[in-house]
Amino acid sequence: IVLIIACTIAAYLLGSIPTAIWYGEAYFGIDVRKHGSGNAGATNTFRVLGKRAGTVVLLIDAIKGWVATSIALMMYYGHLIGWEECQNLKLLFGFAAVLGHIFPVFSNFKGGKGVATLLGMVMSVHPEAALVCMVIFFLVFISFNYVSLGAIIASLSFPILLLLKAFGPENTLVIVFGFLLFGMIVITHRKNIVRLIKGQESKISLRSKKA
Ligand code: G3P
């Protein structure tokens, strides 16, 4: 149990790495929290610093979620836990990383909205569902040009697809965590939701000229 607590804290610390802030400050001398939507995430980095910076932040933030879940795999391959426990701990560690991304200890607990890190976590927990959710995200995104709307719908699709047994029988805990994480995404996107309803959400186009 001590090991599990230590690994949960490690996953939280990993998720806490504020990629958007550190990358923006290191390479551009710009704090993304002072521009665009003010969010310390990949979308706002894309908006403020361009495609390449946004892609780097997206990848690193997703890797944080993926690596956090891999701690459980390492424990499994080290014969410390069984396969079922490994699957459950992936959820716990991934969740801790997403929490770290949203409330990072390294930047006054003000981080991103959790989407990229959640994606990395879901890719490890359920790769097939992650792929389908990414397709859903892109369909919504290219139809409306709203990243937030795509992220909200894709994060809802994950537990719904599992609940409908789209990929066969599922571990109930994954579905519960899926809904819990969707709830967190709704909370972190509450301002985006208000802007979407008012028609004031900023659109993002992949054809933007910023490199
Ligand atoms: O991943 C966050 C995205 O869904 C919205 O970001 O900067 O438009 O609030 P932003």
Tell me what pLDDT residue 207 has.
73
Atom of ligand 1 lying closest to residue 36 CA: 7
Share of the chain above pLDDT 90, in %: 93
Atom number of ligand 1 nearest to Cα 202? 8
If one counts every other C-beta atom within 10 angstroms of the C-beta of residue 20, the result is: 32
Mean pLDDT within 2-16: 96
For the Cβ of 63 lying below 6 angstroms from any atom of ligand 1, the answer is: no
Is residue 127 pLDDT above 60, yes or no?
yes
Query: At 183, which amino acid appears?
Result: G
Q: Which two tokens stand for residue 20?
A: 């958007």
- The structure tokens 């990929």 sit at 167
Return the structure tokens found at 11.
């996953």
| Residue 178 and residue 95 in contact, taking contact as beta carbons nearer than 8 Å | no
What's the pLDDT at 211? 56
pLDDT above 80 for 209: no
- pLDDT exceeds 60 at position 113: yes
Residue 32 to residue 18: CA distance in whole angstroms: 11
Q: Give the pLDDT mean for 193-200.
A: 96
Pocket mutation for ligand 1, best pick of 33, 44, 140 (most atoms within 8 Å of C-beta): 44
Residue type, 37: S
- Residue 114 CA to ligand 1 center (angstroms) comes to 9
pLDDT bracket for residue 205 (50, 70, 90): confident
The predicted pLDDT at position 208 comes to 60
